[in-house]
Amino acid sequence: MLNITFSYRAVFFLALLLCSSFVFSQNNKQKELETRRKELRREIQRINELRAENKSKEKSQISLIEDFNHKINVLSNLIKVTNQQANLLTRKINSNQKKISTLRSELSQLKEDYAAMVVKSYKSKNKQSRIMFLLSSDDFKQAYKRLQYIKQYSDHQKQQGETIKSKALELQDINKDLQNQKEDKKRLIAENREIQKSLESERKEHEALMKTIKRNLSLYASQIRKKQREADRIDREIDRIIKAAIAKSNKKAGKVTSTKSFALTAEEKVLASNFVANKGKLPWPVERGVVRLGYGTQRHPIDKSLTIKSNGVRIATQKGAKVRAVFDGEVSEILKMKNVNPIVMIRHGNYLTLYRNLSNVYVKKGDKVSTKQVIGEVFTNPSNGETILRFTISKGTKTENPASWIYKM
């Protein structure tokens, strides 16, 4: 009998633990989604601010398409997140409604039982009936047991009253939560409708612009190829400079010449280790900005037969934006090429960060820099008003996705 009771208790506590774990998981998921929703809304706000800032400038069709694609992508993600939040709230509402139904049934039964006890108690209320109940006992042992029964019955009655009170309060709290959840869901649905309208508007403008572009697609394709060739030329030159810096550093350290990775001193090893320890937590290279183009090889938004190879990210920011070092390090090079705006290369042990398309540079080769130190200013294109920072992270000559390193990129 003891083993069976123990088993029932074990099953009960296991069920309670699983239920608590599920509720905790749901609450965590809701918090994550809400954080993501706020991030996406802030990103849309930044996109709109940058658009308003450059409204008077005549942007190229390619830049406009990139703008539309980026905002459409962010809006689509926001719709997805709000839908997930609404679905999660629906599950919580259904769960709470089931709880309310169960609690009401329990409360009703408890009240019935309590009422029966009150009636029974009233009937045997006078002292004489209690005394007679005790005096009619066969012996002292039975009298003692009857006295204990009277006391236990009285205690049980009080406990039943407290249980009813507790259940009623629990029901009240769940009802309150339910109303709040319904209001939250209503707000999310209303917000989603507004986002849908904005998304449809962006898509219509995007389609209209694409129709104009397609009339002369060969011209745009030619411009795209030319830009990609220029980007490839710059990437090759950067690669050559990095290899030369690695070879020079290794020769100085008396190591076998290598063009892939730096020979590190004890101090540089610590710096590289700290850099890696902060992966995913590094600050943005500009205070405010949105990623216009991500890392890696991707189809071009205008001509799907063409690809863009991006060794870093392009960040759109406001005019006059200051560029910041994302981590402690040393200015390895200030790169200056023909028809290319200055590039600052900062070394963090065997890692490098590159800040491209600067108008002003505030540091020089060999300078020690600290996290968030201003190292320059982003160039603003006078013809279209665009302020774009190209940012790259590499380990030796191998580039890595900055989104994996920068906080919430």
Q: Are residues 126 and 252 in the same domain?
A: no
Residue 157 lies in a domain: yes
Q: Are residues 272 and 138 in the same domain?
A: no
* Location of structure tokens 């009150």: 118
pLDDT digits (tens, 9 = 90+) for 255-295: 765 667 888 889 999 999 999 999 999 999 999 999 988 99
Q: Are residues 180 and 241 in the same domain?
A: no
pLDDT band at 214 (very low <50, low <70, confident <90, very high): confident
Number of residues that this document lists for the chain:
409
Cα 225 to Cα 227: distance, rounded to the nearest angstrom:
5
Residue 222 lies in a domain: no
Q: Are residues 165 and 311 in the same domain?
A: no
The encoded tokens of residue 21 equal 């774990």
Number of domains making up the chain? 2
Q: What percent of the chain has pLDDT over 90?
A: 38
Residue 229 lies in a domain: no
pLDDT at 69 over 70: yes
pLDDT band at 135 (very low <50, low <70, confident <90, very high): low
pLDDT digits (tens, 9 = 90+) for 364-390: 999 999 999 999 999 999 888 889 999
Q: 79 is in which domain, residue-wise?
A: 2-214
Task: Decide which of 186, 214, 242 is a domain's last residue.
Answer: 214
pLDDT band at 405 (very low <50, low <70, confident <90, very high): very high
Residue 220 lies in a domain: no
Cα 32 to Cα 45: distance, rounded to the nearest angstrom:
20
Q: Are residues 253 and 360 in the same domain?
A: yes
Q: Are residues 151 and 186 in the same domain?
A: yes
Point out which residues pair with 282 in neighbouring strands: 406
Residue 326 lies in a domain: yes
Least confident among 77-81, 100-104, 402-406: 100-104
pLDDT attached to residue 344? 98
Task: Give the residue, 301 or 296, on which the prediction is more confident.
Answer: 296
Amino acid letter, 402: P
pLDDT digits (tens, 9 = 90+) for 171-191: 788 878 888 888 888 999 999
Q: Are residues 148 and 196 in the same domain?
A: yes
Phi first, then psi: give them for residue 403, nearest 5 degrees: -60, -25
pLDDT at 16 over 60: no
Cα 302 to Cα 319: distance, rounded to the nearest angstrom:
26
Task: Decide which of 168, 183, 214 is a domain's last residue.
Answer: 214
Residue 198 lies in a domain: yes
Least confident among 2-11, 200-209, 264-273, 291-300: 2-11
Residue 43 lies in a domain: yes
User: Residue 301: left (phi > 0), alpha (psi -120 to 50), or beta?
Assistant: alpha
Q: Say how far residue 273 (Cα) sits from the centre of its chain.
A: 25
Q: Are residues 72 and 27 in the same domain?
A: yes
Q: Are residues 103 and 180 in the same domain?
A: yes
pLDDT attached to residue 165? 76
Helix (H) or strand (E) holding 387: none
Cα 327 to Cα 370: distance, rounded to the nearest angstrom:
6
Least confident among 48-62, 206-220, 275-289, 296-310: 48-62
Q: Are residues 178 and 54 in the same domain?
A: yes
Task: Decide which of 168, 185, 214 is a domain's last residue.
Answer: 214
b/e 176-201 (16+ beta carbons within 10 angstroms → b): eebeebeebbeebeebbeebeebbee
pLDDT digits (tens, 9 = 90+) for 337-359: 888 999 999 999 999 999 999 99
Cα 348 to Cα 389: distance, rounded to the nearest angstrom:
20
Q: Are residues 301 and 350 in the same domain?
A: yes
Residue 174 lies in a domain: yes
Cβ neighbours for 302, distance < 8 A, ≥ 6 positions apart = 61, 62, 65, 210, 213, 217, 220, 221, 224
For the segment 151-174, the average pLDDT, to the nearest whole number, is: 73
pLDDT attached to residue 259? 63
Q: Using a CB cutoff of 8 Å and minimum separation of 24, what contacts does 67-74 make?
A: 67/292, 68/202, 68/205, 68/206, 68/209, 69/206, 69/301, 70/290, 70/291, 70/292, 71/44, 71/47, 71/202, 72/199, 72/202, 72/203, 72/206, 74/40, 74/43, 74/44, 74/47
Q: Is the pTM of this model over 0.75?
A: no
Contact predicate 157/197, CB 8 Å? no
Q: What percent of the chain has pLDDT over 70?
A: 81
The encoded tokens of residue 245 equal 């810096």
Q: Are residues 29 and 164 in the same domain?
A: yes
CATH number at residue 315: 2.70.70.10
Q: Which of 65-74, 120-129, 241-250, 341-350 is the most confident on average?
A: 341-350
